[in-house]
Amino acid sequence: PGPFADSAPVEAPAAVPDTLAGALATPVEAPEPADETPGRLDITGEWRRVSPRAITIELIGDAVFVVIAAAAAIGLSFLIQHPWPLFPGGAIVVITLLTAAFAPRRIRSIGYLLRGDDLLFRRGIMWQRFVAVPYGRMQLVDINRGPLARAFGLAELKFVTASPATGVTIPGLPLEEAESLRDHLVSVAESRRTGL
């Protein structure tokens, strides 16, 4: 007899019920990791882009500016009989031509998205800008059309809010789309301000 001969006998562990044993034997699938991408926006809807005809308007404007700058530099140089006006004039022409080369990509980067509570606007290639304009903060929705825009059937939609920093201008919209968007935004903004 050992030193623990007088101790109470140890009972065998109770059998695990079949249902619990089956549950323990079933492999548990690991939950799918949540998407925790920093800065990810949960945006539902479709981005609307401006009309491709806005690129033509931009290029025409740049071409007119180049012609005026070159003519002014040449005329001034001829008038004073000295070539120095050609240097700043040539620099202006080169910079304008480089800007015009990026005009198609710059115009294609402009877009807007109608969400539940606001309008999201984006623009820019290297320096991108995203602005969310709440419907209830819109004070004025204005349509502007210059001579070239009228010739191509386009318009510019401008939103005025209480804060000048959140002012948004969407260029190059077809006139019908601009008018429809203006009416929709005015209606939604009025309903948000009245609390409906």
- pTM of the full structure: 0.67
Q: Which residue is it, tokens 């991408």?
A: 37
d(CA 134, CA 126): 26
Q: Where are the beta strands (DSSP E) in the chain?
A: 48-49, 111-114, 118-123, 129-134, 138-144, 154-161, 168-174
Give the per-residue pLDDT at 102. Answer: 92
Written as six digits, the tokens of 31 are: 């939950």
What are 88-140's pLDDT values in tens digits? Answer: 999 999 999 999 999 999 999 999 999 888 889 999 888 888 888 888 888 88
User: In the structure encoding, which two tokens stand for residue 115, read together?
Assistant: 């969400």
**Under-50 pLDDT residues of the chain:** 3-5, 7, 12-13, 16-17, 19-43, 196
Tally of residues, the chain? 196
Task: Give the helix/strand (H/E) hosting 58.
Answer: helix 53-80
Half-sphere exposure of 162 (CA within 13 A, CB side): 4
- What pLDDT is recorded for position 180? 92
Compute the distance between CA of residue 75 and CA of residue 189 in angstroms, rounded to an integer: 53
